[in-house]
Chain A
């Protein structure tokens, strides 16, 4: 099974852009890359998903290089409420391969 690696923690200040990278050297052809946000005592919540190149939605962007061995979640202009743990997930869809990283704890300071 493919493994994912993320930084354990990151610090930022309100209003800054935050980029969190996930490494997945052995990603499978059918794997999509999905990012989730988790607050304490809650289940994870979907942020964004992509397969390759760039995806953008109303809250984040996801950059995936051509070799797909990594991905970068970009959060523009973070606020205090973005303090949470962020996970990347490799999801093989119908294949049932679901691998979460260990998560990156983002702390946003005023």
Chain B
């Protein structure tokens, strides 16, 4: 399977714990995006990378959220001191980079986080 993969698919954690999610993009894609999706809402953009550079992070929800893509391949999203409001589906997507019209994004299946 050469699509976008995310691990774990489900995560249950207790309030106050830290969690980390991993995303493996399509290998030739140099852009990687993270979104959060809550029930009944559209995906909410959090951040994106072009290769290893994080080009937009102002939309991360708070300073408890951070993302890395150290070698320009896989990426991790970490949430520190989780709160019940962090319960959501976290989606990763990848695409090629473009100077003009954006390329389509390929989404992974998501990681569902439940904070108890």
B-binding residues in A (CB < 8 A)? 32, 34, 41-46, 49, 51, 87, 91-94, 96, 98-103
Contacts and interface: CB of A to CB of B under 8 A. Distances in A.
A68 to B, nearest CB: 14
Interface of B: 4, 33, 35, 40-45, 48, 55-56, 91, 93, 97-102, 104-110
B104 A99 contact: no
B91 A102 contact: no
A93 B104 contact: no
A98 B109 contact: no
A45 B3 CA distance: 12
25 contacts: A32-B102, A42-B107, A42-B109, A43-B107, A44-B43, A44-B91, A44-B105, A44-B107, A46-B104, A46-B105, A87-B43, A91-B102, A92-B102, A93-B98, A93-B101, A94-B97, A94-B99, A96-B48, A100-B42, A100-B43, A100-B44, A100-B45, A101-B42, A102-B42, A103-B41
B45 A98 contact: yes
Contacts, number: 59
A87 B65 CA distance: 25
A26 to B, nearest CB: 16
Interface of B is mostly: loop
A49 B101 contact: yes
A86 B89 CA distance: 17
Contacts of A32: 101-102
B65 to A, nearest CB: 16
B1 to A, nearest CB: 14
